[in-house]
Structure 1
Amino acid sequence: MDELELERENRIKNLMWTVSGDYALDFKPDLAAFDRSGFVALYDGIKQGAFAKYFDREAFSLYLVKKIYLHGMEAPLMTLAQLCIEFAVSGKIIKEREGVSNIRRRACEDILELDFARLQENLPGRLKLALLQEVLRGRQPATTQMRAWIDRVEGLEHAESTMELIRATDELYNEIADPYFEQKHGTLEQVLAVTLEELAEFSWKDYLNEEELEETLETYLNQVVQNMTNLDMLETVKKEEKPEQTQEKKQVLVVDEKALARMYSYVERNYGKTFLSETEEKRRNRLLCRGIHGDCSLYFTKGILKSSVMRNYQYEYARKQKDKNLYEYYDNHRIVKNNIRILTDMLKKTLAMRAEDEEILSDRGRILPKRLWRIGRSGEARVFERRLWQDKGSFVVDVLIDASGSQRSRQGQVAIQAYILSEALSNVGIAHRVMSFCTFWDYTILHEFRDYDAPRTENSNIFEYVTSSNNRDGLAIKAAGYGLLAREEEHKILIVLSDGRPYDVILNRPNARNPQPYYGEYAIKDTGFEVRKLRSQGICVLGVFAGEERDLAAEKKIFGKDFAYIRDISGFSPVVGRYLMKQLEKDT
């Protein structure tokens, strides 16, 4: 297998060096992409060589990094940059080497076959589809706006300077991905004015793969250079590590006294200040962090964007992720609004049925003159009418969302689904709270987006959803249940979105006992125990599973019969809506 990979790498590099004429040119081929399509990987190598030959790839990649530094969204920016590069170099290299035309066509066919459905999901993707189809089939019908964008990209065939490419990419991004970018963050001139010193001071940690050893600007720049010509870049599916490998790599984290003393301030800087008083925080920790969670702590926050200590890299990353979540929402806002309307109508109808009173014949109540003739003449002599008032007991809902690193690939979709649910609950007047949870060191961080009685305007805070670190599900569920039990409403519902894989790095304090690692059967049993305990206290708990099929058995152990398996996160709000209707219809 190693020999095969080496042969593929040499083949791609030789193509790049032959096209560019520069045998000192450095490039790391994407061998994972070769497994999906050899033509895409080969064509990427050809484009890398052509781009280096005709344009200044360092200047272009530096523009991309500066745009991202000023809060440009990486995914749509890279998609548009790839398209601009594609049409700027393809015509030039095909004139020199006619054989490239066939490789290009086969690469376009493979992308359309493999990723057609995924590319339909957003505007940059749909532009990419339209352009690839025109490569294969010639000019195609398009809307006026789409045609303008297509013509602008195809017109780059005559581009002679790198600045033409930069300007076209910037204009397309500002029109398609973020129409308010210039107003909020600056013009192209202001983007290009960002200095290397400013870039170097910014931490690029969250923009790099976990495999990267150096978290530096240079590393990120290299990554951008490797990816900016790759048509298949953002669609390549990464292989996940096996759970056993993950468990072997990280189980117990050992810290010294100095690090321990700084822990709280580190959590505060990277997750935002807590909204609890010091007394209340200690009281909750003393009450809830017991048993196997005895060495743990709870940390309640409104998030780093609402209560930041300083503007560090984590703050900037959270801002960038919020922009991404909002971009995904605006790109699908009609579908989102329709889903909110449907879910609202479902809940309204169910609540209306609960509100309907029933009138029955009785031996007491309001007299009915028309039945008085029955007295002394009939055995059925009930001449009164009594109204039975339906149980209008109030409801309260808690939505708890897993925000560990395993959810990173679907952050935007999770935020949208939680927002749909929150809007519908607000529309029908049901008190609800929405929180996410993750665990960093021995702190389980509960990010509260909106409290039970918050105004509807706070629903938009859900777009500040960001993922990181691990997840201690048992403690998070216990903390959410504590808040629900303190409410006065008669009917209490807890909805938990998770991947069925509780896992937490264990913090080994100096002079403390060495706790058992929180993963596998041990963690599943603890989480299941907390769920059953809440149910015994009158809380209805629904588990919504959005993980891998191999973890389905664990989810069943945790939530029993009240759990739902959704293969796609877009099924979250409909599934929860049906469950809520079921609870609302009880005893009607």
Structure 2
Amino acid sequence: MYNDFDFENRLKNIIWTICGNYDQNLESFEEFSNKSKNISIYYAAKLGARRKYIDWDMIRGYINHKLKNGVEKDTIIPLVEICSDIMVEENLLTERPGIYDIRKTGLEEIFENYFEVNAKTFIEKLKYALVLEQIGKYGNVDIKVRNILQEMKICKNSKDTLELLKNIEVLYNTYFDQDLSDIEFVYEQEIVNETRKIDIEKLNENFSSFMYEELYEDEDVNISNEIDKMSSSLLIQSIGDFKNNRDLKLEDNTVISIDDSSLEKIYERIEYYYGKSFISKEELKYIQNKICKNVHIGSRIHFTDGVLRSSCDNSFQIKYVTKHKEKNMSVFRENIKIYRRNITRLKDILTKTLVAEKEISRVYSYSGSLDANKLWRIGRSNNTKVFTKVEDNEKGGYVVDILLDASGSQSSRQGKVATQGYIISEALTRSGIPNRVMSFCSFLDNTIIRRYRNYDCPISENNNIFEYYASGNNRDGLAIKAVSEGLLNRNEENKILIILSDGRPNDINIKKNNSIRPAYKGRAAVMDTAFEVRNCRKNGILVLGVFTGKEEDLNAEKLIYGKDFVYTRNIERFSDIVGAYLKKIIKN
């Protein structure tokens, strides 16, 4: 069989035979066929089993339901992936025991091609421990990880997808219903054998709610792609990096080729999808020639107020942005009392600090206005200051730019990011400090800068910040460079730039006119962003980074922003921290 030139067709037949449905779409086996024949056979068998035993439409509905109820995407999707894998494996090996030896050999061959195993976060350790078990090995895995994995084996006995999801719900409520931004929480508590009592009636009510059809209509495209990837991949694909660069995953080394005619059509459609530009073509060309250099050569900038507040006849996009605005506002309303308190507290901090700095004080001096009451000092004291003069503490005006990372990596927390931007802007506006709020993402070779409020807009314009939504990639360095140009043109003496980001600048490669725009990812992207931050500071802009990503990206954030960045898991302390920073800037 291994020597058969029609090997791929045989693999497709394995899928069809196991799933029992010849109408199923087929995947490409190129990723595994050049590494291991055994893993290719196992992959084909697994695809067939996944289609036979799992209702992926129901999985989509469940995950979307959980996300709408505030569950973190980075927790629920891997949890569903691991549990569904356990169920599928059990059914596949029961039906076809011969797969066991093929799986073991194939997984061992794949492990030999890894130069690094990804087992840093709690979820990654769970995946790693499960794959080791499938090979028949037990590595150096934390005992608490192994205990939870043992509890997850309950999914083996799931008769159908609905029962699987009920088991997942119990596991989630027992072990994962914590502060989900803390991936290490499991190491900070003792895991006991007694599971938390779950209200079964309430559980059944929750399950009946997520199966309504309207939940499917409201599905996020990014989540749908995640589910498609989950249904047609092996667990081992996400736990290691291959030795040879040519074997890297597509998303790590993507180059999109575009011909001239397609490129012009894309440029024409940018305004259709993102809204009309608020600056003229001549001004835009001047800015692009000035800032799109070096690593950003071949890039373009598009400044817009968005589809809701600029000329746009794309009704679908208007509905799409409106829907996201309503979702973001619902996140704000859920904790509206806390957020209003945050706004008031931050406004009070800023107002008191500004008033104190503007106070006029009189001090004794050797010149100025004569104070007759102090004439006795002459000839009787070493302190001969008998004059008073006025000292003005005014340090010049203040202006603030708030720049939000709107790349796809922020989609799971987009309501929180919009809320944080709104809190800062609302407090600044109430304090009388001019501020502008913008976001950035990239679409092909265009960096899209969306403006939600301008410096001197009325306070009602702050509601536009809830139009924020996340999509595409992020070219942080170019966005910072573009925004700082406008900030430097302000007359205020003290210019402040606050950037909310996840510490992961990353953009795809574009090939056009037989030339490839330089890669923008990893260390090169971090160093470029760090350079632009330092360049802003050199030009007199005070830059504060607000970190919204994962702990594993903190080192990149520190490299980019130095000591001037904020990271907190507690949203209630957010305004206090930003307020303390702004207070320090004003005083110093």
Relative to the length of structure 2, the TM-score reads 0.64
1:297 corresponds in structure 2 to: 300
User: For 1:471 and 1:11, how far apart are their aligned partners in 2?
Assistant: 34
Superposition RMSD on alpha carbons, in Å?
4.4
User: For 1:7 and 1:276, how far apart are their aligned partners in 2?
Assistant: 53
User: For 1:441 and 1:448, how far apart are their aligned partners in 2?
Assistant: 20
Change (3 A) 1:262 1:401: same
Q: 1:505 aligns with which of 496, 503, 508?
A: 508
1:329 corresponds in structure 2 to: 332
SS of residue in 2 equivalent to 1:359: strand
2:452 corresponds in structure 1 to: 449
Tell me by how many angstroms 1:554 deviates. 2.2
2:531 corresponds in structure 1 to: 529
Tell me by how many angstroms 1:248 deviates. 5.1
Change (3 A) 1:285 1:153: same
1:560 corresponds in structure 2 to: 562
User: For 2:238 and 2:574, how far apart are their aligned partners in 1?
Assistant: 25
Q: Are 1:492 and 2:556 counterparts? A: no
1:374 corresponds in structure 2 to: 377
Give the alignment of 1:310-325 within 5 angstroms.
310-325=313-328
User: For 1:242 and 1:546, how far apart are their aligned partners in 2?
Assistant: 26
Deviations 1:80-119 (A, max 9, x none): xxxxxxxxxxxxxxxxxxxxxx999977653432354479
Unaligned runs of 5+ in 2: 1-38, 61-76, 92-162, 181-195, 232-236
1:514 corresponds in structure 2 to: 516
Q: Is the 8 A contact 1:251 1:504 kept in 2?
A: no
SS of residue in 1 equivalent to 2:496: strand
Q: Is the 8 A contact 1:298 1:444 kept in 2?
A: yes
User: For 2:469 and 2:178, how far apart are their aligned partners in 1?
Assistant: 26
User: For 1:103 and 1:254, how far apart are their aligned partners in 2?
Assistant: 42
Q: 1:114 aligns with which of 175, 199, 202?
A: 175
User: For 1:377 and 1:426, how far apart are their aligned partners in 2?
Assistant: 54
SS of residue in 2 equivalent to 1:385: strand
Give the alignment of 1:454-493 within 5 angstroms.
454-493=457-496
Deviations 1:2-52 (A, max 9, x none): 9899899979978x9xxxxxxxx99877996567769x989xx9xxxxxxx
User: For 2:56 and 2:518, how far apart are their aligned partners in 1?
Assistant: 47
Change (3 A) 1:27 1:368: closer
SS of residue in 2 equivalent to 1:337: helix
Moved more, 107-116 or 306-315: 107-116
User: For 1:576 and 1:41, how far apart are their aligned partners in 2?
Assistant: 47
Change (3 A) 1:526 1:153: closer
Q: 1:350 aligns with which of 333, 353, 356?
A: 353
2:553 corresponds in structure 1 to: 551
User: For 2:394 and 2:239, how far apart are their aligned partners in 1?
Assistant: 49
User: For 1:356 and 1:550, how far apart are their aligned partners in 2?
Assistant: 45
The one-letter code matched in structure 1 to 2:362 is E
User: For 2:469 and 2:448, how far apart are their aligned partners in 1?
Assistant: 12
Change (3 A) 1:415 1:248: closer
* Percent identity over paired residues: 39
The one-letter code matched in structure 2 to 1:541 is V
Change (3 A) 1:293 1:456: same
Tell me by how many angstroms 1:358 deviates. 2.4
User: For 1:260 and 1:3, how far apart are their aligned partners in 2?
Assistant: 41
Change (3 A) 1:35 1:282: closer
1:269 corresponds in structure 2 to: 272
Change (3 A) 1:429 1:240: farther
SS of residue in 2 equivalent to 1:483: helix
Tell me by how many angstroms 1:376 deviates. 4.0
Tell me by how many angstroms 1:315 deviates. 2.9
1:338 corresponds in structure 2 to: 341
Q: 2:225 aligns with which of 209, 228, 231?
A: 209
Unaligned runs of 5+ in 1: 17-24, 46-101, 120-131, 139-149, 157-164, 171-187, 192-198, 214-222, 224-237
Q: Are 1:540 and 2:545 counterparts? A: no
Q: Is the 8 A contact 1:394 1:490 kept in 2?
A: yes
Q: Are 1:407 and 2:431 counterparts? A: no
Q: Is the 8 A contact 2:56 2:227 kept in 1?
A: no
User: For 1:576 and 1:308, how far apart are their aligned partners in 2?
Assistant: 35
User: For 1:286 and 1:103, how far apart are their aligned partners in 2?
Assistant: 56
Change (3 A) 1:207 1:375: closer
Q: 1:364 aligns with which of 356, 362, 367?
A: 367
Change (3 A) 1:296 1:367: same
1:177 corresponds in structure 2 to: none
Tell me by how many angstroms 1:410 deviates. 0.4
Tell me by how many angstroms 1:563 deviates. 2.4
Change (3 A) 1:299 1:573: farther
The one-letter code matched in structure 2 to 1:362 is S
User: For 2:329 and 2:532, how far apart are their aligned partners in 1?
Assistant: 34
User: For 1:533 and 1:383, how far apart are their aligned partners in 2?
Assistant: 47
SS of residue in 2 equivalent to 1:254: strand
The one-letter code matched in structure 2 to 1:209 is N
Change (3 A) 1:461 1:509: same
Change (3 A) 1:8 1:294: closer
Deviations 1:149-194 (A, max 9, x none): x8x969x9xxxxxxxx89x999xxxxxxxxxxxxxxxxx9xx9xxx
Change (3 A) 1:454 1:105: closer
SS of residue in 2 equivalent to 1:493: strand
Give the alignment of 1:53-132 within 5 angstroms.
109-117=170-178
Q: 1:383 aligns with which of 365, 383, 386?
A: 386
1:583 corresponds in structure 2 to: 585
Deviations 1:373-421 (A, max 9, x none): 3334444332222221112411111111111111111000000111011
SS of residue in 2 equivalent to 1:547: coil
Q: 2:443 aligns with which of 440, 443, 446?
A: 440
User: For 1:389 and 1:26, how far apart are their aligned partners in 2?
Assistant: 68
Q: Is the 8 A contact 1:432 1:452 kept in 2?
A: yes
Tell me by how many angstroms 1:309 deviates. 2.2
Relative to the length of structure 1, the TM-score reads 0.64
User: For 1:378 and 1:26, how far apart are their aligned partners in 2?
Assistant: 90
Q: Is the 8 A contact 1:12 1:29 kept in 2?
A: no
Change (3 A) 1:41 1:433: farther
Change (3 A) 1:312 1:208: farther
SS of residue in 2 equivalent to 1:474: helix
User: For 2:164 and 2:299, how far apart are their aligned partners in 1?
Assistant: 57
Q: Is the 8 A contact 1:13 1:27 kept in 2?
A: no
Q: Is the 8 A contact 2:80 2:168 kept in 1?
A: no
Change (3 A) 1:328 1:385: same
User: For 1:279 and 1:420, how far apart are their aligned partners in 2?
Assistant: 35
2:199 corresponds in structure 1 to: 135
Change (3 A) 1:11 1:270: closer
User: For 2:228 and 2:370, how far apart are their aligned partners in 1?
Assistant: 83
Deviations 1:217-264 (A, max 9, x none): xxxxxx9xxxxxxxxxxxxxx979989956754432110122111111
Q: How many residues align?
A: 438
